[in-house]
Amino acid sequence: MRERVEKVLETIRPMLQADGGDIELVDVVDGVVKVRLRGMCSGCPMASMTLKNGVEAKLREAIPEVKSVEEVR
């Protein structure tokens, strides 16, 4: 599943990079995707909304086995 998650993140990454940020896949455990936000996304007040409404929604749409996305620091 990790490779599938990476492929989806590659489609999301340009949107984050356009705002000066980035995303790094840390781990995938039992359907929980753990990511690290970088650059301007790190500490951004909109980060949690971006994770749930953007990243998690795209991942769950493409990979139904994904249960959730969590940010790690």
Q: Where are the domains of the chain?
A: 2-71
CATH superfamily name and code, 2-71: Fe-S cluster assembly (FSCA) (3.30.300.130)
- Rounded Cα–Cα distance for residues 10 and 4 (Å): 10
pLDDT of the residue at 51: 86
In this structure, the number of other CB atoms found within 10 A of the CB of residue 52 comes to 12
- pTM of the predicted model as reported, rounded to 2 decimal places: 0.89
User: What are 49-71's pLDDT values in tens digits?
Assistant: 888 889 999 999 999 999 999 99
Average pLDDT, stretch 25-45?
91
pLDDT of the residue at 44: 79
φ and ψ of 31, to 5 deg: 85, 0
